[in-house]
Amino acid sequence: MTAIVPIDVGQWVLTYVEHYCPALLGGGMPRALERLSEGGSGWESLWRPEQQFEVVKVDRVMPKTFRDPDGRRRSRYFVVAAASTASQMIALRDKLFAIGFEADRTIEDETARRMAEFVAATRADALAKVHAALPHIFGRKA
């Protein structure tokens, strides 16, 4: 893991939901954040930013953990950023989460554009084979 993000009491933090933090898979926080370049950070089950990230107010700060207003102790190793307002962290959360989906859409659109001619030819060939395999339905070509 990398250095812990500095936080103060009263701030709002953007933190990974622990079981969706790719840092647990190895590579630390830098690799976890790089995975944001993929839709859902590579998790097929993630479709909304609040599934992967929480925006939490800091009530108490300790060296490796912090407490939220509900008294829950949370790891500082999962904190991505800190700010003075929740809206700043929500905006950052949504922006970071959207990056991978935007990249995926761009890749899919370009792939479809480049593959369109090949797809059409392959489908036409497959259709011809279906017709040829069932002449009693589609008739024989003259």
List the domain boundaries for the chain. Answer: 12-104, 109-136
Q: Provide the sign of the torsion angle of the four alpha carbons 27, 28, 33, 35, taken in this order.
A: positive
Q: What is the pLDDT of residues 96-113, one digit of tens each?
A: 999 999 999 999 999 999
pTM: 0.79
Between CA 137 and CA 127 the distance in angstroms is 13
Between CA 27 and CA 140 the distance in angstroms is 61
The pLDDT value given to residue 109: 96
